[in-house]
């Protein structure tokens, strides 16, 4: 079996808690117009592995924390499960998946079958506007809400982060409505707002004012560009 992906060892950015090895998988169930990872989505500049060579690479990374991302990590589920099997050979401290929430059945498998799971998920727009992100599925709202429910009721998750890129698809009204979806998580939940680069849509003052409203109105821990 030939597996096409990219491995980044000693990654200081992707994991919610610690340094990690990050595995980038191609393909995605959305095609966001502002995607900054299109090379990965399209499978460009990725390396070909066999199960044996990927196992060697992951074991040699000597990391204890892993992130599987993309593209969409859960898009090709057989490859995803193979990577989990390989990572488990290292007795990992944690495995994090980054997901766009369009794959609830696969997400359920992940949170039920991985020992120390972490999840970072995207909330990209009002759920009724997901069609603007060129999804391959028609039922994006249903898929997102199923995924959200899976995360809210799961008690094993060590950390959960929702990520929202402040793009043209996130109006001020949308920003004020989004927190209603994000209540019901525990202490291990954060909402991370990220400016669209290189052209910011909102000023820093505007985002800070919004963050104050969220903290006081909903008690949600909210970050802006990681701070
Ligand atoms: S979900 Fe992420 S990887 Fe997929 S197209 Fe959108 S921004 Fe790119």
Which numbered atom of ligand 1 lies nearest the CA of 71?
A: 3
Q: Span 38-64, mean pLDDT? A: 95
Which numbered atom of ligand 1 lies nearest the CA of 31?
A: 5
Res. 34: pLDDT tops 90: yes
Read off the pLDDT band of 1 (50, 70, 90): confident
Q: Give the integer Cα–Cα distance in Å for 122 and 191.
A: 10
Which numbered atom of ligand 1 lies nearest the CA of 41?
A: 3
Q: How, if at all, do strands 20-24 and 3-11 pair?
A: antiparallel
> In the chain, what are the domain boundaries?
3-162
> By C-alpha distance, which of 95, 93, 143 is closest to 123?
143
Res. 199: pLDDT tops 90: no
- What Rg do the C-alpha atoms of the chain give, in angstroms? 17
Instruction: Tokens for 44, please give them.
Output: 């460009």
Which numbered atom of ligand 1 lies nearest the CA of 28?
A: 4
Res. 51: pLDDT tops 90: yes
Q: Span 69-85, mean pLDDT? A: 97
Q: Span 69-74, mean pLDDT? A: 97
90 lines ligand 1 (CB under 6 A): no
How remote is the CA of residue 133 from the centroid of ligand 1, in Å? 9
37 lines ligand 1 (CB under 6 A): yes
Res. 215: pLDDT tops 90: no
Classify burial at 74, counting beta carbons within 10 Å of its beta carbon; exposed 0-12, middle 13-18, buried 19 or more. buried
30 lines ligand 1 (CB under 6 A): yes
71 lines ligand 1 (CB under 6 A): yes
Best residue for ligand 1 mutational test, from 72, 98, 170 (most atoms within 8 Å of Cβ):
72
**What contacts 187, CB < 8 A, 6 or more positions away?**
none
Give me the helix-helix angle, 77-88 and 51-60, nearest 10°. Answer: 50
CATH code for the structural domain at 3-162: 3.20.20.70
pTM for this structure? 0.96
102 lines ligand 1 (CB under 6 A): no
220 lines ligand 1 (CB under 6 A): no
DSSP secondary structure letters along 194-206: EE-SSS-SS-HHH
Question: For the chain, what is the mean pLDDT?
Answer: 95
How remote is the CA of residue 136 from the centroid of ligand 1, in Å? 12
> By C-alpha distance, which of 200, 198, 202, 190 is closest to 227?
190
| Residue pair 129/169 in contact by the 8 Å Cβ criterion | yes
70 lines ligand 1 (CB under 6 A): yes
Spatial strand order in the sheet of 159-166: 47-49, 3-11, 20-24, 65-69, 94-99, 117-122, 159-166, 189-195, 222-224
- Name beta bridge partners: 164: 193
Q: Span 215-226, mean pLDDT? A: 92
**What contacts 21, CB < 8 A, 6 or more positions away?**
7, 8, 9, 10, 11, 58, 61, 63, 65, 66, 67
Best residue for ligand 1 mutational test, from 27, 32, 43, 76 (most atoms within 8 Å of Cβ):
32
Instruction: Tokens for 30, please give them.
Output: 């959305």
Give tens-digit pLDDT for 139-186: 999 999 999 999 999 989 999 999 999 999 999 999 999 999 999 998
35 lines ligand 1 (CB under 6 A): yes
Residue 197 has a pLDDT of 84
Q: Give the integer Cα–Cα distance in Å for 160 and 172.
A: 24
How far is CA 186 from its chain centroid?
18
> By C-alpha distance, which of 132, 134, 118 is closest to 168?
132
């Amino acid at each position: 079996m030939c597996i096409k992906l990219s491995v980044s060892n000693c990654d200081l950015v992707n994991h919610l808690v610690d340094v990690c090895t990050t595995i980038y998988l191609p393909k995605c169930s959305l095609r966001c117009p502002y995607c900054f990872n299109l090379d990965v989505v399209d499978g460009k500049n990725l390396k070909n592995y066999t199960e044996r060579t990927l196992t060697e690479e992951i074991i040699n990374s000597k990391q204890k924390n892993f992130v599987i991302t993309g593209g969409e990590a859960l898009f090709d589920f057989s490859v995803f499960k193979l990577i989990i099997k390989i990572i488990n050979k290292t007795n990992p401290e944690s495995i994090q998946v980054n997901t766009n929430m369009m794959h609830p059945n696969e997400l359920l498998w992940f949170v039920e079958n991985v020992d120390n799971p972490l999840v970072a998920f995207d909330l990209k727009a009002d759920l009724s506007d997901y069609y603007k992100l060129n999804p391959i599925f028609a039922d994006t709202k249903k898929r997102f809400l199923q995924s959200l429910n899976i995360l809210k009721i799961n008690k094993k998750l060590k950390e959960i982060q929702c990520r929202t890129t402040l793009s043209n698809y996130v109006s001020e009204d949308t920003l004020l409505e989004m927190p209603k979806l994000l209540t019901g998580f525990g202490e291990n939940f954060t909402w991370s707002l990220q400016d669209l680069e290189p052209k910011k849509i909102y000023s820093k003052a505007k985002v800070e004012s919004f963050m104050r409203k969220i903290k006081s109105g909903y008690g949600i821990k909210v970050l802006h560009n990681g701070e």
